[in-house]
Amino acid sequence: LRFRPFEDVCGIGHTKGISSIVIPGSGEPNLDSMEYNTNPYQDTKQRREAEVRSLLEKLNPNMIALDPSVVATVEASNEHTRLERLREQQDEDEEKKPEQKKQKSKKRGRSKIQTQQRRKERAVIEENIKKLRESRKDDDDDNNNDDDVDRSNHTNVVRDKENNALKDNAPVALKRFF
């Protein structure tokens, strides 16, 4: 008779051969959860403990050696060495830190090329807008001066003459736009 834990089937060997019988409920784990390696519902902490325990059992006790003078004593380290260790750890952490990557757009069904082109166009438009604003500021500053008023009137007169010339030379279909 060999017991197979957590199974409902029990195999029995006798003089006439082998027979198997079903024992209902024998597969239900009503067990002591502190038993070694028999808890199927163990959490991660218990699983770690069981693994450490099994590894320690594999070790020969003669291989484990502790210095009795060091056990239960406090390490006496000065503050200088402790600060050095902390600095080294910070340096290692900074080296391990990954560089900031560009943002990935996780849009599905949209072309990346299209978004890149839009981004470039926006950058160009923003630069042009900045230049326009700067030039308008310069123009406003120039218009504030009394000497520049005559020049601006002169440029307006020249523009009007050019527009009239364009109106006269434009085809009949385009004259309505002037």
| Domain boundary assignment for the chain | 9-58, 112-144, 149-178
The token pair that represents 171 in the structure block: 């085809």
Give the chain's end-to-end CA distance (angstroms, integer): 109
For the ranges 3-7, 56-60, 75-79, 115-119, the lowest mean pLDDT is seen at 3-7
Give the residue among 9, 5, 33, 34 at the shortest CA–CA distance from 22: 9
Flag whether pLDDT at 4 surpasses 60: no
pTM exceeding the 0.85 threshold for the entire prediction: no
**DSSP 3-state assignment of 173?**
helix
152 pLDDT tier (thresholds 50, 70, 90) = low
